[in-house]
Amino acid sequence: MKRTTQFIGLTLVVTLLASCAGKQLSISNGAQAKIKANQLDYYIGNPKKAIVPGEGKSEFFLVDETTGKIVFTGTLPEGKLFEPAGEVVAIADFSSFEQPGTYRLAVNDSLFSNPFRIEMQPATKVTRAAIKALWYNRAGYTIPENYGGKWARAAGHPDTLVFVHESAATKARPAGFTFSSPKGWYDAGDYNKYIVNSAITTYTMMEAYHYYKSYFDSLKVDFPENGNNLPDLLDETLYNLRWMITMQDPNDGGVYHKLTNKSFDGMVMPDQCHNERYVVQKNTAATLDYAATMARSARLFKGFESQLPGWGDSCLVAAKKAWDWAIQNPDITYQQPGDIFTGGYGDHQLTDEWFWAACELWLATGDEAYKAKIAVAKNEIKAPDWGDVYTLGAISLLSSNGADAQLAKEGLLALADSLTTVQQQSAYNTSITRFRWGSNSDVANYGMVKLVAYRQTGDRKYLESALYDMDYILGANATGYCFVTGFGTRSPMNIHHRPSAADGIEAPIPGFLSGGPNLSVMTDCDSTGRSPYPAASFQDMLCSYSTNEIAINWNAPLIFLSGGIDAEILSTQK
């Protein structure tokens, strides 16, 4: 179904006060907002900024959306060039205004923002939706109408009968051997499941719980598990962990890279897919990522032994067995078989996986054999992604003591300082300067690093910089989109996501973080009219998998960022 870009056109009549008394500013229906603001909410008692195109040095107005009255007047600084967008902009700062309500910013009748709110608890709704989006992406699971609403669907891909691909064959499990590997999340816009991407996703969610336990203990998500005795964030994380644990060959401890069709399914609903499913090649990166994730799970779920008896022990046994396989197979990298055409997630640099797995197993066991493999290199601590998980190990080390923990802290603070300095000097008030595939997840991961730094130091500059990362995701970016589906005035309607494309419903499933602008691929859609500038090069089209796909490892740092900001700010307001 072809969808139109979401936009709520409003007529705004503003009676200008003070020096502009008697003058009216009229914004017509359908006019596009050009001031880039957080389209949801700004927190009372915290910075509030938006991006205004142009040279600056003029007044801007904060307008009450209900009464049409100006409630705040400010002056824009001189504009600066934001090279990734090819745009000169100025930052409108209305931080001192604290009255709850719905507003928009305006300079004149053609330069205004979408409406937004100022309130006390803005991000909670985003956090809930981002967790529930993963629930909507469950494999082998029926989405019931009483929880899923209009996005209810039948189950697909039960994965109770999967085949060992010849690339993964062993004497104990030859090609064609079948076993059961159910549950887990669909990885992205496709219907396959990948260990390396699941590892960073589930780790990030477990770490979000570790940092913000009280917040997530009380956060309820509208899905069936919300009445049990586990926090809803962990309920959702467990659905994927339970799949991951099945991906280990019990005979030798090696871990399969992915569970997949030979080719991508079409743009159809899950229950219409009946292709055979395979587990593909064991390799060192997948096995070490698995070992790290299971060791982290063992530590976290020690606190839930009565609810999940034996789970933590099972995870630790699996983690140790995976590590032992990796010791025997230290440099096997994933090679896509000739008859497999789904996502690769290949990684030929394994230093980060070894570091992460060693950190997690040492923290879970105290065994000096793992400790001997840990050597913290501060220059390796970068914003994490599925192909570079070194920083996940560094974050975990912060819960320990000693020289390694101190080096990890120094490296993380140096990274957070660098990101915060870039944001403070940026014309667009953002830390991002390099726009690659999944650029929005980079922004969310930057925010996560800053929140970790804030926890380590209490220095508010990190928290405020993370707030600006949230503003960017929710609309204060060069595209003008709020990148979380179902939120804001202008958000993606045509995400590259099979259930959202095939369900016949105009609105996409809410709570997904769209990938965001980049120039990585310019040929997935007709690129006519697409910006040549990386910060603005985005298409709200189903075909634009390079800019408008969704992925589980993009939602996880969004959960950490939105939940963390909410938890930190609410704790200071009590």
What is the Rg, in whole angstroms, of the alpha carbon atoms belonging to the chain? Answer: 24
Joined together, the tokens standing for residue 351 give 């230093």
Residues 94 and 140 in one domain: no
The answer to whether 64 is a known catalytic residue is no
The answer to whether 165 is a known catalytic residue is no
H or E segment at 234?
helix 232-244
User: Pick from 88, 119, 150: which residue ends a domain?
Assistant: 119
CB proximity list for 146: less than 8 A, separation 6 or greater: none
> Partners of 278 in the beta sheet?
163, 260
Burial class (CB in 10 A: 0-12, 13-18, 19+), 364: buried
The three-state secondary structure class of 386 is: coil
Residues 104 and 143 in one domain: no
Contact 75, 59 (CB under 8 A): yes
Closest CA to 192 of 167, 169, 162: 162
Residue 227 has a pLDDT of 87
Helices and strands (H, E) in the chain, number of each type: 16, 16
Question: Of the residues 190, 353, 385, 524, which is catalytic?
Answer: 190
96 CB neighbour count, 10 Å cutoff: 9
Handedness of CA 233, 235, 238, 243 (dihedral sign): negative
Task: Specify if 92 maps to a domain.
Answer: yes
What secondary structure letter does DSSP report for 503?
S
Residues 368 and 278 in one domain: yes
Closest CA to 255 of 364, 345, 339: 345
Residue 27 has a pLDDT of 52
Q: What does pTM read for this prediction? A: 0.95
Residues 374 and 340 in one domain: yes
Task: Specify if 16 maps to a domain.
Answer: yes
Handedness of CA 557, 563, 564, 569 (dihedral sign): positive
Per-position pLDDT tens, the chain of length 574: 333 333 333 344 444 443 343 344 555 544 578 999 999 999 999 999 999 999 999 999 999 999 999 999 999 999 999 999 999 999 999 999 999 999 999 999 889 999 999 998 778 999 999 999 999 999 999 999 999 999 999 999 999 999 999 999 999 999 999 999 999 999 999 999 999 999 999 999 999 999 999 999 999 999 999 989 999 999 999 999 999 999 999 999 999 999 999 999 999 999 999 999 999 999 999 999 999 999 999 999 999 999 999 999 999 999 999 999 999 999 999 999 999 999 999 999 999 999 999 999 999 999 999 999 999 999 999 999 999 999 999 999 999 999 999 999 999 999 999 999 999 999 999 999 999 999 999 999 999 999 999 999 999 999 999 999 999 999 999 999 999 999 999 999 999 999 999 999 999 999 999 999 999 999 999 988 899 999 999 999 999 999 999 999 999 999 999 999 999 998 887 5
Task: Specify if 135 maps to a domain.
Answer: yes
Closest CA to 34 of 107, 90, 113, 106: 113
Question: Of the residues 159, 249, 464, 549, which is catalytic?
Answer: 549
Read off the CATH number of the domain in which 62 is found: 2.60.40.10
SS (HEC) of 337-373: CCCCCCCCCCCCCCHHHHHHHHHHHHHHHCCHHHHCC
Handedness of CA 94, 110, 484, 381 (dihedral sign): negative
Q: Is 568 left (phi over 0), alpha (psi -120 to 50) or beta?
A: alpha
Helix, strand, coil fractions of the chain, as percent rounded to 5: 40, 15, 45
Residues 258 and 292 in one domain: yes
Rounded to whole angstroms, what are the CA distances from 1 to 36, 495, 501? 29, 12, 7
Angle (nearest 5°) at CA 272 between 268 and 276: 110
Residues 140 and 223 in one domain: yes
Residue 10 has a pLDDT of 38
Task: Specify if 93 maps to a domain.
Answer: yes
Residues 348 and 396 in one domain: yes
Question: Of the residues 388, 540, 566, 568, which is catalytic?
Answer: 540
Residues 237 and 310 in one domain: yes
Joined together, the tokens standing for residue 1 give 């179904």
Question: Of the residues 496, 497, 503, 566, which is catalytic?
Answer: 496
Read off the CATH number of the domain in which 167 is found: 1.50.10.10
Task: Specify if 295 maps to a domain.
Answer: yes
d(CA 247, CA 243): 7
Residues 78 and 179 in one domain: no
The single residue listed with the structure tokens 């990796």 is 326
The answer to whether 540 is a known catalytic residue is yes
Q: Residue 208 carries which side chain, given as an amino acid letter?
A: A
Maximum CA pair distance of the chain? 86
Outline where 477-551 has alpha helix (H).
Answer: 498-502, 545-548
Task: Specify if 165 maps to a domain.
Answer: yes
Contact 435, 85 (CB under 8 A): no
Residues 284 and 371 in one domain: yes
CA-based end-to-end distance of the chain: 47
Residues 62 and 153 in one domain: no
User: Pick from 87, 119, 151: which residue ends a domain?
Assistant: 119
CA 248 to chain centre: 26
Task: Specify if 27 maps to a domain.
Answer: yes
Report the domain count for the chain. 2
DSSP E strands: which ranges in 460-521? none
Residue 21 has a pLDDT of 36
The answer to whether 257 is a known catalytic residue is no
d(CA 460, CA 466): 10
Range(s) of the domain holding residue 47: 12-119
Residues 373 and 230 in one domain: yes
Give DSSP secondary structure letters for 272-297. G-----EEEEE-HHHHHHHHHHHHHH
Rounded to whole angstroms, what are the CA distances from 285 to 201, 209, 254? 15, 25, 10
Task: Specify if 525 maps to a domain.
Answer: no
